[in-house]
Amino acid sequence: MRIEVVTLFPELFDVPLRTSVIGRALERGLVEVAVHDLREHGLGRHRSVDDYPYGGGAGMVLRPEPLFAAIEPLREAGAHVILLDPAGERLTDAMARELAGQPRLALVCGRYEGFDERARGLVDREVSIGDYVLTGGELPALVLIDAVARLVPGVIEAESHESDSFAGGLLEHPQYTRPESFRGTDVPPVLLSGNHAEVARWRRRESLRRTLQRRPDLVERASLSEEDRRIVVELRDELADGAGDEDSALD
């Protein structure tokens, strides 16, 4: 997979793309990222990329010419072009999985003041990472790269993202590691039992419990088995009785 980025701040990508899992994926050539400086397409002696908004108002607006000059060749080379913008479609796990299937992506980072409306015509889709405004699209682009690159085969163990939060539409179950007892709280004994079927049952139940407590909206939309539904009814009763655990939003 090859990802192109168009930005006024290429240096923002240096450290994140050299670090940890994504850094290793790039080093191993599983994912390729090319960062392009929009300023290279700036106009005139000052390589100007923005101008005052017609109609007046605060801030500067990115001009269409540099955006077209930077994006058009990427488009023609077959990239799926994505503009990071708070007005875009919300990034979800399902969208990340869909994008991970694209051989080429081009991510265009806007500035918070905005860009000329005519540039929207150049992009295949607009993506937002949540309902808040940022100073630029660079951090959202990094979020998208992280969410997508980890799904590229070989970047992490497949089992790891098959059991992710959201992958099955539910939040992940609690995890424990050593020590067995820490400051008065013990690891649930079932996890030490060596009984894989029991462990799997416990994890499913705790995943359902956590999702019911924290994101009941996800339970409505998740694909649940008959057994899951039976557990949900039980957990709802438990929660209604106030017999939840330390997770409860109502505590």
Residues that bind ligand J9T (CB under 6 A): 84-86, 110-112, 128-130, 132-134, 136-137, 140
Element holding 161 (H helix, E strand): helix 158-162
The nearer residue to ligand J9T, 42 or 137, going by C-beta atoms, is: 137
Pick 110 or 168: Cβ nearer ligand J9T = 110
> CA neighbours within 13 Å on the CB side: how many for 129?
17
Those residues whose C-beta lies under 8 Å from the C-beta of residue 108, and which sit 6 or more positions away, are 6, 67, 70, 71, 81, 82, 83, 84, 119, 122, 123, 137
Q: Distance between CA 89 and CA 85 in Å, rounded? A: 9
Q: 70 or 129, CB closer to ligand J9T? A: 129
Which of 37, 65, 93, 113 is catalytic? The answer is: 113
Structure tokens at 168: 């099955």
State the nearest-atom distance from the C-beta of 62 to ligand J9T, in Å: 10
Distances (CA, A) of 200 to 16, 194, 195, 211: 35, 11, 9, 16
Catalytic residue, candidates 16, 53, 86, 174:
86
Q: Which of 37, 126, 146, 164 is catalytic?
A: 164
Minimum separation from the CB atom of position 116 to ligand J9T (A): 14
Identify whether 150 is a catalytic site residue. yes
Indicate the residue among 7 and 207 with the shorter CB distance to ligand J9T: 7
Is 226 in the active site?
no
113 is catalytic: yes
Q: How far is the CB of 107 from ligand J9T (least distance, A)?
A: 10
Q: CB of 43 within 8 A of CB of 65?
A: yes
CB of 110 to ligand J9T, least distance (A): 5
Residues 23, 224: Cα–Cα separation, whole Å = 36
Q: Catalytic amino acids?
A: 86, 113, 150, 164
